[in-house]
A = this chain, B = another copy of it.
Amino acid sequence: MNTDGQNMYHLAERLFPICRSITGNGVRDTLDILKSIYVNMNIYEVATGTKVFDWTVPKEWNIYDAYIANAKGEKIIDFKQQNLHVVGYSLPVDKKVSLNELKTIIYTQSDQPDVIPYVTSYYKERYGFCMSENQKQSLVEDEYHIFIDSKLKDGNLTYGEIIIPGETKEEVFLSTYICHPSMANNELSGPVVAIHLAKWLASLEKRRYTYRIIFIPETIGSITYLSRNLDYLKQNVIAGFNLSCVGDNRTFSYVESRYGNTLADKVAKNILKYYYPDYKTYTFLQRGSDERQYNAPGVDLPLCAICRSKYGEYPEYHTSKDDMTLISPDGLQGAYEVYQECIMGLEYNDKYKINCLCEPQLGKRGLYPTISQKDTYNEVRTMTDFIAYADGSNDLFDISNIIGVPVKKIISVVDKLIQNNLIMKV
């Protein structure tokens, strides 16, 4: 049934095995596959050493193989089976170590003894391995061979950018990230939903807004992107969303912008209120993804995040349990629909004003019942309520909030009233 959901899930399956990081060929391979879904994507490379605000683009990291073998030569962990086994950005190593020495470079998640944690060390050069706490506990005295075949050297940071032009230069901005190795909800769900939104947006007959969708490494990627585009974004972005953790089917979550008061927040709260009334709200204190950069003082983009189970808030987060069984076609589909509704609401979002004084006579236009009996008034309630607040001071979302009717339903009323020349945009 959910063709889009199925397609998104299948795409995630293709992308899942790739070992991504904030730089390197895993990012390039991922972007190539995404580009095969939506071809008009520009891919950019930013050289190691480039200053980006307070940061510097780091060396490029690539990894080819890694394992720990015991004295018998048996691999007790193998990067080729599970790329989370290696600490991201690990230096190459090839030596024999005792059990004690081995333990100093092993990371586990002690409160979840059966999972392999996701660990990185982007800005301090080291090497390390991740395994389950159970496995670590079972290790015996032995001479271990630790081997990482990686390269950390000058190269580039890679990201993708899609621009889908609209009638105006004003933009809706979507950002998602492609820097996580084999984890599903966080983060393949964001890229696969984003690329399908791109396809859908491009298929629309017309678009009022221009849509900008970027696929970047988290933190350093958004900082890099902002350092190259900030002035333009500040002038043109009317609303933006960070797409992350949009693949499971357990709940919806909304993460406020810095003050929770941007147009994006207004849209997110309104759409979720009707689509999934039990959605959870997180303040900006509970932020954790690239909304940190987009909402930083001086950046101040009107951006919030809509997730399914939010990063940091579900037990599988940043572990080997965040695998393809955690996300589902339905989960992806739900997020996809919510973002579609947000976008359609934005496309229709105007302040409207009724063209006559007092209530219009809807009856003579066939928009009102001709017989007046108790309760007949209720039948056209949405229309009369919309008209009552179409006073030029409220936008579509304001009216939806005031009259308690989803934007989707109001849009059809707006169309009827415009056909009858009863309202105009302010």
Contact = CB atoms under 8 A, between A and B. Distances in A.
Interface of A: 53-55, 87-88, 107, 109, 117-124, 126, 128, 219, 222-223, 226-227, 230, 258, 284-285, 287-288, 292-293, 295-300, 312, 317-319, 353-354, 356-361, 363-364, 370-374, 377, 384-385, 387-392, 402-404
21 contacts: A53-B357, A54-B356, A54-B361, A107-B371, A107-B373, A109-B374, A117-B374, A118-B373, A119-B372, A121-B371, A123-B361, A123-B370, A126-B370, A126-B371, A258-B391, A285-B402, A292-B388, A296-B358, A297-B354, A297-B387, A299-B357
A317 B126 CA distance: 68
A402 B256 CA distance: 13
Nearest to A362: B54
Contacts of A359: 54, 219, 223, 292-293, 296
Given A121-B371, A128-B371, 16 more contacts: A54-B356, A87-B371, A88-B372, A109-B374, A119-B372, A122-B372, A123-B370, A227-B357, A258-B388, A288-B377, A293-B359, A296-B354, A297-B353, A297-B354, A318-B373, A318-B374
Contacts of A363: 123-124
Contacts of A319: 374
Nearest to A378: B312
A374 B312 contact: yes
B392 A285 contact: no
A373 B119 contact: yes
Nearest to A422: B54
Given A285-B385, A288-B377, A230 B372 contact: no
B372 A120 contact: yes
A391 to B, nearest CB: 3
Given A122-B372, A374-B312, A374-B318, A388 B117 contact: no
A296 B357 contact: yes
A179 to B, nearest CB: 12
Contacts of A287: 388
A388 B258 CA distance: 8
A226 B123 contact: no
A373 B284 CA distance: 20
A88 B372 CA distance: 9
Given A299-B358, A385-B285, A373 B122 contact: no
A229 to B, nearest CB: 12
Given A258-B388, A373-B318, A388-B296, A357 B226 contact: yes
Given A359-B293, A361-B54, A124 B370 contact: yes
Contacts of A353: 297
A15 to B, nearest CB: 22
A389 B120 contact: no
A400 B270 CA distance: 29
Contacts of A293: 358-359
A230 B358 CA distance: 10
B404 A285 contact: yes
Q: Which 5 A-B pairs have the closest CB atoms?
A: A297-B391, A124-B370, A54-B356, A54-B360, A318-B374
A187 to B, nearest CB: 14
A389 to B, nearest CB: 7
Nearest to A312: B374
Contacts of A227: 357-358
Nearest to A219: B359
B389 A258 contact: yes
Contacts of A119: 371-373
Given A292-B359, A293-B358, A361-B54, A298 B391 contact: yes
A372 to B, nearest CB: 5
